[in-house]
Structure 1
Amino acid sequence: MKKKWRRFLACLSALLVMMSGSAAATEEVPEELKNLYAHSAVLMDGGSGRILFGKNEEEVLPMASTTKIMTCILTLESGRQGEIAVASANAAAQPKVHLGVRTGEEFYVEDLLYSLMLESHNDSAVMIAEHIGGSVEGFAAMMNEKAAQLGCVSTHFVTPNGLDATDGSGTHSTTAADLAEIMRYCVSISPQREAFLQITQTRSYSFSNVEQSRSFSCQNHNAFMDMMEGVISGKTGFTSAAGYCYVCALEDDGRLFIVALLACGWPDNRTWKWRDAAALLGYGKENYHNQTINCTEKPRTLTVEGGLSGDKNPWREAVVEAVPDTAAASGKQYLLRDGEQIRSRLTIRKGLQAPVEKGEVVGRISYYLDDNLLEEYPFVTTASVPEKSFTDWLSWLWKAYTM
């Protein structure tokens, strides 16, 4: 009987903990974001990369044609968009949505990028991949290498177009957090960000194959650009495994927001992604504002053991002034919600020993939001302090007794 009673109390306690944790989690979700359709969603500060809101943001899911933002930026960074790509039988066999290339047909890579990003053509993606990477597999390796460089460790690329696929290393997939980070790189960090934005902001584009025997016209399917002011880029996606997906970037009053949505409904719910994106961006614009870290820490006077004072008196304590090296400051802005505060922590080296060089790092001023380190500036000395020697003692004694 006692054992049963103890088990009952243990179960009751566990249930109460679960309920309290669930209630706490629910309370943390803003009211306007409680009914998002997407299974996985992220609102990111495009300046710092901080996730402002996440829903299942680390869950690995297929991402459909949002894949193509990586295909596009890698191609732009290769510097080969002025080259000619030839359609292979593999490219010509790609399913809809496709440009309809024919085996052996030639296109300028630059034109294919508009086909890729505006109409989301799958055959254009394969043509680009085979031209830049030598093969789809070779280009996928480049995509995965780039993802790793960006810290997107939960992302695995198999195809350049986002069609559902699996290889020996895993399934074509990402997380909302990784997808947002990739878009952040494309629009604000990559040396080719301006070219990326130019392509993804183009409303319509016409081109021909190299022979000029066929002409094509592309229309931008990122309808969200006309739904919310400030949208600067975006890419839609859909496969039967991924559902509707979307990633976009918005600029507003000096703020950059990134939204990533995965598994945001299946047919006939193609408009859910627009509603979710509007809800997340509206929440971000209403609640988050830019703050720049200004290093206002005062200079510190530090004792230098064994150092020679400025007046050359070996009996006098040697000191040196240390100041924050504001030249090392990035000036990066962070989006903060009302009530959030950035705190600073200064660490200074104790027991400085001569000699000390001018500009020597003797400490750091660190800035934190919660437990996350945002910025660090070095504290450096403003002057040199030599080590006092026997000669300094003799010199001081000579002056003292000859005056």
Structure 2
Amino acid sequence: MKKLYIKRSFVFILIIMILFTNFYRSKALAGSTAPWPKCPSIKAKNAVVMDLATGTVLVSKNATKKWYPASTTKVMTAMLAIEKAKSLDEMVEFTKEAINVSEPGSSSIGMTPGEKLPLRECLYGLMLASANEVANAIAIHTAGSIEDFADMMNEKAEALGCVNTHFTNPSGLYEKDHYTCPEDLAKIAREAIKLDDFREIAGTRTHVIPETNLMKEKRPVSNTNQLFNPVKLPQHGYEYCYAGKTGYTNEARFNLVSFSKKGAMDVVCVIMNAESADVQYTNTKKLVDYAFKRFRMLQTDKIPLKLNESGGKTYISILENDPSAEFTVSGTAALVVPKKCDINGVVTEIKENNLTAIKVGKNYIGSVEYKYGGECIGSADIVYTSSKAYSFEKSEMISESLPEENKEKRLNYFAVGMIVVSVLVILGLVWYLLIYRRPSNMARRRYRRKKRRINSRNRLKW
């Protein structure tokens, strides 16, 4: 009997430990995890799909591995030319240097020294026909020399947060020190597509460059990205692709930047080091379809700010002056998350601005960063709109508010303690009734049944 009691007690304690372990594990998982979708199998060596709205990397393969970008470099060249130009009607003159720097047999629209073209027409030749002499002419026109333009490219890349990028020329022709990686190239493409002129030019299928001062014939050009301009390879047409840039050299192999949109989702896919044109197109479609299938957009207003838990000096001071204050978010209207994402798994990290006064109208009191499964999925500014201007002394407000906060924490600890004690009492009663008392109760019942049988036999004998 004693051995049976010990065994049952041991089994009961083991079951309780397992239940508590699973309970806390499920609570932790509910707070942060539903796994981030993994990259499907592809043949290209390096790739990334990035959400354009938030900059979130959705799927990737060797996303930060350095590689030669070939003519996808021209995405950066076009963006800088547009940003630095006073007008796209500026005339660009083609010098001997611009033409001679290009390798014989490389992509070209046949410009000759002394020809002049408006910058806008040069950009069509750059992005659609991938003309290398046009890239050189744009660089010299914008920065004065190819070397100075390369410095501008590297400064811009650094400003965009690129960490594995270094440019030495505007065309992408092979040089050992001219490299980037899929994630950095996606950051560059994300910034470029924000420019209306870039979006229009990169999304043009065909264009006719007009005659110049030296050439009386027009030059028709066609976008080489077969996903949205499937002229040479119709089997690779992709209905969701609306812009892009190809790139190829013997050293870099096939590289591709493609912009695709479906519903509320707008993404850029970068493929690097693919063994063939077929691979770069099929891999792009596979990755983008996967992203559209496995991710969705989540509105930021669905996620509570929880300023009452993490709010600091500014938040407390504003509420003291305006108890009915409302706080909203601006910037990113939506976040991209896995489709199976539990909204409770989105974690917010709030950073407050160091304010001492409030003005009439919008006040940016801080920012919020959204994370899911350890991945940053977006950020936004926290806005407080006030109908009056006022200043506040933060030290006073904090000193007054601390006792209340501590009191609230003590109340929380007390509530948790009461719950724990209640659970322990219930478990103790269950243990006492089902385990400790069970052996003696069973023995008592067996004794009673045996006694009844004996009495029954005695009555029959009598």
Deviations 1:234-291 (Å, cap 9, x if unpaired)? 00000111100001111110111110011011xxx22110000000011011111110
The 3 A distance-change label for structure 1 pair 322 and 60 is farther
**Corresponding position of 2:22:** none
1:160 Cα deviation after fit:
0.6
Distance in 2 of aligned mates of 1:155 and 1:148: 8
1:182 Cα deviation after fit:
0.9
Alignment check: 8 A CA contact 1:73 1:196 kept: yes
Does 1:218 pair with 2:224? no
Alignment check: 8 A CA contact 1:154 1:175 kept: yes
The 3 A distance-change label for structure 1 pair 108 and 30 is same
State the aligned residue count: 332
Alignment check: 8 A CA contact 1:298 1:323 kept: no
2:300 aligns with one of 280, 293, 302 = 293
**Corresponding position of 2:205:** 203
1:140 aligns with one of 150, 154, 160 = 150
Distance in 2 of aligned mates of 1:272 and 1:363: 45
Alignment check: 8 A CA contact 1:62 1:242 kept: yes
Superposed CA RMSD: 3.6
Distance in 1 of aligned mates of 2:381 and 2:200: 36
SS of the residue corresponding to residue 167 of structure 2 reads coil
Q: Which amino acid aligns with 2:264?
A: G
TM-score, structure 1 as length reference: 0.72
2:44 aligns with one of 38, 53, 59 = 38
Does 1:257 pair with 2:263? no
1:321 aligns with one of 304, 320, 323 = 323
**Corresponding position of 1:87:** 94
**Corresponding position of 2:21:** none
**Corresponding position of 2:283:** 276
1:49 Cα deviation after fit:
0.6
SS of the residue corresponding to residue 76 of structure 2 reads helix
Deviations 1:110-150 (Å, cap 9, x if unpaired)? 21111111110111111111111111111111111111111
Distance in 1 of aligned mates of 2:367 and 2:84: 39
Q: Which amino acid aligns with 2:239?
A: E
As a proportion of its length, which structure holds more helix? 2
1:24-35 correspondence to structure 2 within 5 Å: 30=38, 33-34=40-41
Bigger drift between 338-347 and 209-218 goes to 338-347
Q: Which amino acid aligns with 1:85?
A: V
Alignment check: 8 A CA contact 1:159 1:172 kept: yes
Bigger drift between 97-106 and 63-72 goes to 97-106
Alignment check: 8 A CA contact 1:300 1:321 kept: no
Distance in 1 of aligned mates of 2:367 and 2:109: 56
Bigger CA radius of gyration:
2
The 3 A distance-change label for structure 1 pair 88 and 364 is closer
**Corresponding position of 1:164:** 174
Q: Which amino acid aligns with 2:78?
A: C
The 3 A distance-change label for structure 1 pair 128 and 288 is same
The 3 A distance-change label for structure 1 pair 208 and 287 is same
The 3 A distance-change label for structure 1 pair 385 and 153 is closer
Deviations 1:148-177 (Å, cap 9, x if unpaired)? 1111121111111100124xxxx1000000
**Corresponding position of 1:175:** 181
SS of the residue corresponding to residue 251 of structure 2 reads coil
Distance in 1 of aligned mates of 2:130 and 2:392: 67
1:363 Cα deviation after fit:
8.8
Q: Which amino acid aligns with 2:323?
A: E
Does 1:106 pair with 2:116? yes
Deviations 1:187-238 (Å, cap 9, x if unpaired)? 13xxxx2111111122221122234534311111111114111212100000
Distance in 2 of aligned mates of 1:65 and 1:56: 20
Deviations 1:13-32 (Å, cap 9, x if unpaired)? xxxxxxxxxxxxxx98758x
The 3 A distance-change label for structure 1 pair 126 and 292 is same
Q: Which runs of 5+ in 2 are unaligned?
A: 1-34, 231-236, 314-319, 397-462
Q: Which amino acid aligns with 2:164?
A: S
1:323 Cα deviation after fit:
4.8
The 3 A distance-change label for structure 1 pair 375 and 321 is farther
Q: Which amino acid aligns with 1:132?
A: T
The 3 A distance-change label for structure 1 pair 214 and 283 is same
Deviations 1:313-357 (Å, cap 9, x if unpaired)? xxxxx897375521x4324312211233443458799xxxxx997
TM-score, structure 2 as length reference: 0.64
Distance in 2 of aligned mates of 1:178 and 1:218: 28
1:77 Cα deviation after fit:
1.2
SS of the residue corresponding to residue 99 of structure 1 reads coil
The 3 A distance-change label for structure 1 pair 289 and 108 is same
Distance in 1 of aligned mates of 2:258 and 2:173: 20
SS of the residue corresponding to residue 57 of structure 1 reads coil
Does 1:375 pair with 2:382? no
Q: Which amino acid aligns with 1:109?
A: L
Alignment check: 8 A CA contact 2:50 2:267 kept: yes
Does 1:54 pair with 2:44? no
The 3 A distance-change label for structure 1 pair 361 and 174 is closer
The 3 A distance-change label for structure 1 pair 385 and 58 is closer
**Corresponding position of 1:129:** 139
**Corresponding position of 1:69:** 75
1:240 aligns with one of 211, 234, 250 = 250
Overall identity of the aligned pairs, in %: 26
Distance in 1 of aligned mates of 2:77 and 2:134: 11
Alignment check: 8 A CA contact 2:332 2:379 kept: no
Q: Which amino acid aligns with 2:379?
A: E
